[in-house]
Structure 1
Amino acid sequence: MFSQLAALSILLMTACASIPKNPGYRAVWYDDFNGIKGAMVDSSKWNQVTIKNAATLKQIQIYTDRASNAHLSGDGQLYIVPKKGGTSPRYWSSARLESDGSWACKAGEAMIFQSEIRVPDFTNALTKYNGLWPAFWTKGQSCRDGTAKGFKCGEWDIFEVTNNMGKINQGTLHFENLDGAHNGSLHGITQYAGGVYHTWAFKVDRRNSNWKKQSLTWYVDGKVFYHVTGATIGIFSEWKILAQSPFFIILNLAIGGEAGSYGGLATESTVDGFEASMRVKYVAVYKSN
């Protein structure tokens, strides 16, 4: 019995060692994407959703549940791989992964969503990455429960980059004002180097009893690049949605289908396959001790 417990302890320590520690926090959920090369993601942690038509978002990809669009690398990574299909008409396939769980930050606590990600180097790509739109973001669980729709659920955009943004990432909040209008005006930008891995994180901090002094903070490689407080939002009901509600994680790579798309317009010059992939070493949710 002792040897079995010791072996289990070693396995757990090995698993936890595969994601970084955040001092003062404990990991409550994570995926280090360890597994056999070519295998599907862990279905107990992720839903690989299928969406056949994203035209309303000016996107042209279909999201599939195929391993060719999302699979393990065999060396502790997830690859999300866009693929071209057909010739007349041309179509694209890709993947969108949504965490099975969702997490809320309780009063008196802080919570971090974090991931280490590599995307192509859009800065020097000319036109070959036009239309590619990889992202690490979240939606409020109320959207999945059907109790709210659209931006009323709340949304945290942590990392979303495109060829037309070059070496710029924009972190954004999306929510509804009291009058029902979409508010996407709160955002901060930061520069990053493409073609290498960066750690992107988003922290909800409710350790101050005054909600106006609570905060939402975006990080790249441990450095703050944007910060919003309850006082910035100014209306408690809106802050409650953004900072007190449960959110689930999304990893996806979209393909822009129109010039007006945030992702830009994919063309015949846009590359697909591994070169165009989004590569993820881990995703983790931490809560304060």
Structure 2
Amino acid sequence: MSPPPAESGYSLIWSDNFEGSAGSLPNQGKWKIVSAGPNPNNQEVQHYTTSTSNSSLSGSGVLQITPRHDGGQWTSARLEGLEAFNCPDGHRLLLQAELRTGTHPANQQSGIWPAFWALGNDIRNGKNVSWPQCGEWDIFENAHGNDWSLATLHYGRGGQDHLSKGSGQEHFQVESFHTWAIKVNRGPSNWQDETLEWYLDGNKFFQIKGSDIGDGELWGRVAHKSFFPILNVAVGSNFPGGGQPDGNTTTGLGSGLQVKYVAAYRSN
């Protein structure tokens, strides 16, 4: 179990390297383990549980999120970070995780939808802000056992005003662990030149500037406010290339998500 890597020019402000005994739940002092029924808005069919059969530690520093099909229904896990992080003016914020998706063949992962993402903290801190007004960073997201992820920013003024900007397919080797990250860069002296940047294994593959949003209030919500990390594996999705589980969709960690660490850094 190793700590998250040092990042030059940054200080580590929060992390979890999933240290703990094999089969135990993740640290509930850092994560809310969600209990919830299916979300039909996203065509999801899983029930999120707090059971160690769906989220547990490996004993060697890996979080394991495992979708299962028992008793005629799918179960899985969703972890929401209890802390949220913002990027002060003139600084940079980095939120990243090292993870590996399921290793079952793609034809055994129909409907499986793993993700590492973040929501604006205003959705839960009494500000009466709903989605997408709170903002959403999709840092890593794929489905169906595909070998690609999409970087996406969701934003808007609330209600039906849903806007989004996203990348093309960013391909990766499914069998390996990879580091996925988002960087908020508030170094520029005006919001139009500030950026959100997405990285795979340290290489930037997508960027959105404040001027791409073109609205200072909307940009402030997605780049100046605090966000909290989320890890989950949904079953059933409206994600591109996703869909519903079928008779070949296989239960177990081979359709799940393994995570070595999640870390937040702020520039010095």
Q: TM-score, normalised by structure 2?
A: 0.94
Shift of 1:53: 2.8
* Secondary structure class of the residue paired with 1:79: strand
The aligned counterpart of 1:11 is none
Pair 1:50-2:55 in alignment: no
Taking only aligned residues, the RMSD between alpha carbons, in angstroms, comes to 1.7
Larger radius of gyration: 1
Does residue 244 in structure 1 map to residue 224 in structure 2? Answer: yes
Q: Which of these residues, 164, 182, 199, is aligned with residue 179 of structure 2?
A: 199
Match of 2:130 among 140, 149, 156: 149
Corresponding residue to 1:76 among 44, 61, 84: 61
- Give ranges in structure 2 of 5+ residues lacking alignment: none
Asked if the contact 2:133/2:158 (under 8 Å) is kept, the reply is no
Equivalent in the alignment of 1:97: 79
What does 1:242-281 correspond to in 2, within 5 Å? 242-256=222-236, 260=238, 262=240, 263-281=242-260
Q: Is the 8 A contact 2:134 2:221 kept in 1?
A: yes
| Aligned equivalents of 1:249, 1:177: Cα separation in 2 | 22
- State which of 200, 205, 210 in structure 2 corresponds to 1:225: 205
CA drift of 1:233 comes to: 0.9
Q: Residue type of the partner of 1:129?
A: Q
| Greater alpha carbon shift after TM alignment, 179-188 vs 66-75 | 179-188
Deviation of the 1:274 alpha carbon: 2.0
Q: 1:179 to 1:101 in 2, by over 3 A?
A: closer
The 3 A distance-change label for structure 1 pair 179 and 49 is closer
The offset of 1:268, in angstroms, is 2.0
In structure 1, the residue corresponding to 2:263 is in which secondary structure?
strand
Residue 248 (structure 1) shift: 0.5
1:61 is matched by which residue type in structure 2? Answer: Q
CA contact (8 A) 1:112 1:286 kept: yes
| Corresponding residue pairs, total | 266
CA distance in 1, matches of 2:121, 2:37: 22
Instruction: State the partner residue of 1:163.
Output: 144
> What is the CA–CA distance in structure 2 between the aligned matches of 1:179 and 1:85, rounded to whole Å?
36
Q: What's the CA shift string for 1:6-63, capped at 9, x where partnerless?
A: xxxxxxxxx8x62111100011000000110001111110000111231222000000
Q: Is the 8 A contact 1:130 1:267 kept in 2?
A: yes
Residues 121 and 193 in structure 1, CA contact (< 8 A), matched pair in contact too: no
User: Percent identity between the aligned chains?
Assistant: 36
Distance 1:227 1:121 in 2: 29
Distance change (3 Å), C-alpha of 1:247 and 1:272? same
TM-score (norm 1): 0.88
Which amino acid is the alignment partner of residue 216 of structure 1? L
**CA distance in 1: counterparts of 2:93 and 2:161, whole angstroms:** 28
User: Counting helix residues as a fraction of each chain, which structure ranks higher?
Assistant: 1
Following the alignment from structure 2 to structure 1, what is the Cα–Cα distance between the partners of residues 6 and 68?
35
